[in-house]
Structure 1
Amino acid sequence: MGWIPFETRYNYDEDDYRRHRITRICLFLCAAIVVIVLVLGLATLIVYLILRPKATHYNIVSASVHTLEVIGSKDLTYTSTVNAVFIYGLEAQNPNSKVTMEYEKFNVQTLYLGTDIGHSSVDGFILGYRGSNVVMITTSAMNLVVNNIVGNTLRGEISQQWVFLTVRIDTRARAHIGSYTSFWMWLHSVCEINVTPPSNGVSGMLMKYRCRNT
């Protein structure tokens, strides 16, 4: 083995040392990340097993139809005008015994065949353990122009005294568990409802509803 200058041997040892040092640091960081993930996962599992959190629910539990009419020609080449006023009873339920829920506000939208025929919002509130609350909210549309496919279909259902609607409920909420407060998260529900239209000065009412979280 030939003679190697001292400077060359020194540089080789120093570079090798630096590589090993970087490798050790990377391994240490990776191990630390794995430990942190495992600890957080274990803590989450323990909290879940202790609290057994359940999903909160948002339902349309009542509906009053003050106005629902279609104005315009039945000719499919033209448009129609819809006037609609709905008043909903929106219920929120917190089934958890150790979690308090805080809602920022509720956005409610009434849809007919995918067409927005009224939307509004109402202030949020805080629900304590196993709490529930019902708030009233009105969505309305006056002189809303729709295509005559929507207009004629709605006109037909009004004449049959049975109207199918979709109500979307969107809210931002966060959970309070002791001194811990979660980040805000979006929650969504869709309710399929059947209502009767107003008749002879008497408001229509809710006949059936089915809500699901999305």
Structure 2
Amino acid sequence: MFRQEETNPHFLPRQNDPVLEFPSHSRHQQRDRRSTRTREKPPHAPGGDRPTQQAVPPSHHVEAPPQRSHHNTSSTTPAGLMSPAHHSTPQETPPPPHHTAATPQSHYTTQTSRRSHRPSLLRGPPSQKTKPLAWVIAAFCALFWVIVIVGGLVILIVYLLFRPKNPKFDISAATFNAAYLDMGYLLNADITLLANFSNPNTKVNVDFSYAILDLYYEKNFIATRYVEPFALMRSETEFANVHFMVSQVRLSMGHRMELKKQMDSGRVNFQVEGLFRTRSKLGGFLQYSYWLYAHCQITVTGPPTGILLDKKCITKR
């Protein structure tokens, strides 16, 4: 096999450089070393001058990266000499790889794949058993809502079945018997009303456990009267005679002048307010209580033979 001569001037030996010799371990290595020195000794040019070496500008010279030998030898070969193990055809040094920047997509894919193999640090809370108190509260809430829903359905069914209506209050008749001013500003009067209580329901009975009527003149309270409790059957009407005695009620100068003017004209205005506590009975198993409020505006003629001329009554809950 033939050895290829070194062409790089940097690896050629110089005459002034000392030659490093290493102890040999075999005759075969010494023989190869002598033959290599004889063959690589450059011929002298005529005139005894040293052979000129081609200089490479340092600015344009690029050193090749050193190659690491994959063979473990017992001795170290000096620069410019080749060991017998490398007598085969030399391989060209591959050019240094061009490092290209990874694209953002490949970098993101790599990070994602790495993260996917990492164990997750987020863990759900450990399962806990429900306490008995929580079960009791949940059962109570469920029972409460069941009662509310069932009660609402029952009320709806009862309302659609009985169609309950509020009782009505009205004034059928009124008499203005007497009225005069004592000492010029104290009112004394005698007024009688025929009150009418009616039950418009055909399937519901109504009881009046509390009933009171108040009499006003120009928004001034002048008398009150209590009515005894009574009951109204289905579609029944009850009349009550209510007698008001007005005694020593102080009126202002303006109200005194207005009363005299109305008595002279024959049209005196009064207001009647009613408050009633009623109870409706739906059949024989269900009943409920509520308050009723009545407001009436009446007009009567002057005393002593005053009669009812006009009325307007409103009853509401």
Q: What is aligned with 2:156?
A: 45
Whether 1:86 aligns to 2:197 is no
Q: What is aligned with 1:99?
A: 204
SS in 2 for 1:209: strand
Summarize deviations over 1:168-211 as a string: whole Å, max 9, x none: 1111111122223534422110001111121xxx4201111111
Summarize deviations over 1:51-81 as a string: whole Å, max 9, x none: 01111101111101111233444xxxxxx11
Paired residues of 1:105 and 1:124 also in contact (CA < 8 A): yes
Whether 1:191 aligns to 2:296 is yes
**In structure 1, what residue type is equivalent to 2:311?**
Y
Q: What is aligned with 2:275?
A: 170
Q: Out of 4, 18, 23, which is 2:134 matched to? A: 23
SS in 1 for 2:131: helix
Q: What is aligned with 1:212?
A: 314
| Alpha-carbon spacing, 1:185–1:131, altered in 2? closer, same or farther (3 Å) | same
SS in 2 for 1:136: strand
What is the TM-score when the length of structure 2 is the normalising length?
0.57
Q: What is aligned with 2:245?
A: 140
Whether 1:126 aligns to 2:196 is no
**In structure 1, what residue type is equivalent to 2:143?**
A
Q: How far apart, CA to CA, are the structure 2 residues paired with 1:93 and 1:20?
A: 59
| Alpha-carbon spacing, 1:173–1:181, altered in 2? closer, same or farther (3 Å) | farther
C-alpha displacement of 1:37: 0.6
C-alpha displacement of 1:143: 2.0
Report the structure number with the largest CA radius of gyration. 2
Q: How far apart, CA to CA, are the structure 1 residues paired with 2:253 and 2:208?
A: 38
SS in 1 for 2:259: helix
Q: What is aligned with 2:65?
A: none
Q: What is aligned with 1:113?
A: 218
SS in 2 for 1:25: helix
Q: How far apart, CA to CA, are the structure 2 residues paired with 1:94 and 1:103?
A: 11
* Structure 1, unaligned runs of 5 or more: 1-11, 74-79
Query: Where is the strand percentage greater, Structure 1 or Structure 2?
Result: 1
* Structure 2, unaligned runs of 5 or more: 1-125
**In structure 1, what residue type is equivalent to 2:171?**
I
Alignment length (residue pairs):
191
C-alpha displacement of 1:158: 1.3
**In structure 2, what residue type is equivalent to 1:162?**
R
Q: How far apart, CA to CA, are the structure 2 residues paired with 1:189 and 1:203?
A: 27
What is the TM-score when the length of structure 1 is the normalising length?
0.82
Q: How far apart, CA to CA, are the structure 2 residues paired with 1:104 and 1:67?
A: 32
Considering only aligned residues, what root-mean-square deviation do their CA atoms show, in Å? 1.9
Paired residues of 2:274 and 2:294 also in contact (CA < 8 A): yes
**In structure 1, what residue type is equivalent to 2:167?**
T
Summarize deviations over 1:106-157 as a string: whole Å, max 9, x none: 2111101111111111212111110001110111112222222222222221
C-alpha displacement of 1:28: 1.4
